[in-house]
Amino acid sequence: MYDPEVLRSLHVSRYKSEPEIFAAPGRVNLIGEHTDYAEGFVMPAAIDFATLAGISPRDDGKIVIYSENFKEERVFDARSLPKSGSKDWSDYPLGAMVMLAGEGHRIPGLSLSLLGDVPLGSGLSSSAAVEVATALAVTSLVGVDYARPKLARLCQRAENEFVGANCGIMDQFISANGAEDHALLLDCRDLSFRLAPIPANVALVIANTMVKHSVAGGEYTTRRAEVEEAAAVIARHRPEVRFLRDATVEDLHKWGAEMSPNALKRARHVITENTRTVAAADALIDHDLKELGRLMAEAHVSYSQDFEASCVEADTMVMLAHSQPGLIGARLTGGGFGGCTINLVEQGKANEFRDGLAASYASETGIVPQIHVCHASSGAHRVIASLSH
């Protein structure tokens, strides 16, 4: 995470006022992919890459948003906010404000500056980090205190309704609720969760394939539609099944022939992934790292072959991980079609693992990857109080 002092001084020099500063992390998902919008289970962890948001009030009725990453500023009128996004980076912070306005809060004039180190387009939820940091900053300015699950829902709606990306709840939830040194098993039906400690001798090694990923892209939406098609077929026979969370492999044996071949495969991934995700949380809690690694390997095969959300580079990165020292488990993480792999690695071998994987991936693909040894971090929080208070 960037030093908050960097953001503070750029905010003060641009806007001549002391900001309150908030941070919201990106995330890595250990297991449970494309299960969140099927009301299933996911097990992400917040990571030590984050977006910082600095906020201060203005008296001219303007909403001014500056991104240090894009080195651009956008200006809006607080009394007439747009109804939908304009395919711009500002959609994410603005979307969070528009949703808050929709909840009946009057959004005052404000200056918001953003600075983040979550790599963009790499499946580590840079957009959720911006939304959650902004929502926390603006609720604080307005003087309301949202419970974290509610804050996460609001940010998911910003993404669904304002940005126009049909994501589930996972990314915003973990960014708002992450816990240091823990993964979080989330039941996406009722947002109840269980924390699973990540042992001190286990490193989270995140390997970027450098293939760009986007939730707004067509493939994510197509997969979601296929998952929903499968659920609708099962519901014709078992009306109590509204989401694949409630379906079984047996349902697929009985009625899979009524689905398109793709819907059948996608459903098989989602149904088996839900079972694996709950089992993986148990394995982590029981310190059964061998079982956890086995479940991650199985999850990758299912994601690649049944869900067809991998790519040659991600399959190569996972395959090569298996010949590096200290590997516990590896799989493609996040929405798919590029982005990063998550590798659980014995802490003492993490650097050796990182260097070996980087070299073999570069020689195999010709692409120089970025590989980060991360650790599970806390969720969104206030960083420093305004010095003027």
Nearer to ligand GLA, 42 or 350 (CB): 42
In this chain, which stretch among 78-86, 107-115, 166-174, 252-260 interacts with ligand GLA, using CB under 6 A? 166-174
Contact 127, 67 (CB under 8 A): no
Region of 80-88, 164-172, 274-282, 377-385 interacting with ligand GLA (CB under 6 A): 164-172
Q: Which is nearer to ligand GLA, 113 or 126 (CB)?
A: 126
Q: Is 334 in the site for ligand GLA (CB under 6 A)?
A: yes
Which of 37, 92 has the CB closer to ligand GLA? Answer: 37
Cα gap 31→41, rounded to integer Å = 9
Q: At its nearest, how many Å lie between ligand GLA and the CB of residue 334? A: 5
Sketch the per residue contact string, 34 through 53, with ligand GLA: x for CB under 6 A, - otherwise: x-xx----------------
Q: Does 245 bind ligand GLA (CB under 6 A)?
A: no
- Is residue 33 close enough to count as binding ligand GLA by CB under 6 A? yes
Please identify, among the stretches 15-23, 28-36, 136-144, 379-387, the one whose residues bind ligand GLA according to the rule CB under 6 A.
28-36
Q: 171 catalytic, yes or no?
A: yes
Distance, C-alpha 132 to centroid of its chain: 11
Task: Give how many residues touch ligand GLA by CB under 6 A.
Answer: 11
| Residue 171 engages ligand GLA in binding (rule: CB under 6 A) | yes
Catalytic residue among 171, 251, 306, 315: 171
Binding segment toward ligand GLA, per CB under 6 A, in 9-17, 32-40, 145-153, 368-376: 32-40
Kindly tell me which residue out of 25, 116, 168, 293 binds ligand GLA, with binding defined by CB under 6 A. Answer: 168
- Fill in the per-residue mask, 190 to 229: x = in contact with ligand GLA (CB under 6 A), - = not in contact: -------------------------x--------------
Residues designated catalytic = 171
Q: Which residues bind ligand GLA (CB under 6 A)?
A: 33-34, 36-37, 167-168, 170-171, 215, 334-335
